[in-house]
Structure 1
């Protein structure tokens, strides 16, 4: 008998699994300040969900006199140090939902634009084996909002993206997930996801289960079929 869908759940990391955006913003601000520049909250918000090289180029425009690679390494080290010192700042309900997905036998992937060494720090601090696959920013052929990382994750899991649910918190990430063909769930944190093409929005993952994601996938996959008929 065919297993019920979704065949997999594809998770963004920063802002979706862990609330690290404040760590990134603090690191960006300190770096710009060290070169005598100014970095506003609005500028920081514009980088949420963006690939690290694109973010580094914007920080150069703000006065950071370092190479793109050096900026990426500096910010990654700063945030990874905070994670190692403080532990993962999980978003409400994320760990519980991951655990339920694993118990239900649903495949999972972590799909992040952060570097692999940071992703591995986050994954290592989870209290169980949470992910079958990790695609990080240094693995993806192109960064979000391109769909490459999600397509790579689906391919490694052996699933059709249309049979998966992707969970995102940022506009760039959501556009990548939508372009991959996955059924898309937005759980916004710092920025609105209205107008990004998400199939649905939940204010939180708290109290949500694998059964909820099955229902979500069934509803929105059926809606797509009706729209294309």
Structure 2
């Protein structure tokens, strides 16, 4: 089904673009943590490939694409080198990086869901794995960097919800035999726009009703 929506060449380049922007975010966190060049490269790789690697292992697509396509492995290293030498300039383009990251989120939630369905998973499981593909790299990045994953922090703009919406649109289209290049593109755009709106207006998920916790709220460290 995935091959019917995108040609292999287009799919490959879309994957590489998503991998690149996710790797940038991982490398930037490593720089903020004052890690060395190996740490920067490792965190870039984990952020870029974590979600897709998890997906492929779950559905049995082994060896995972990250280990069979050299471009998948080299692209995060290129992003890491870019950040290593030019991180002040990359920091100044953080808004652009966030926009590309949102685009990668939208793309990966759709392709992840579709690939999972191609490998025989049901609709609900496919949507869940599409979500994992989109956000898994960010979770891996935060855990390796000893941070509370942004995915579960109340003080971060919505990230998982846009991916969930995009994956849900895909499985609904599959259910009603309406998944085409156009409808899959709509799912990508919806997830992308929701993420941009969340960043623009600081939309956040609600916390527990009548919360009375005395726990100290986590705040982001000053670089």
TM-score (norm 2): 0.29
TM-score (norm 1): 0.28
- Structure with the largest fraction of helix: 2
- Structure with the largest fraction of strand: 1
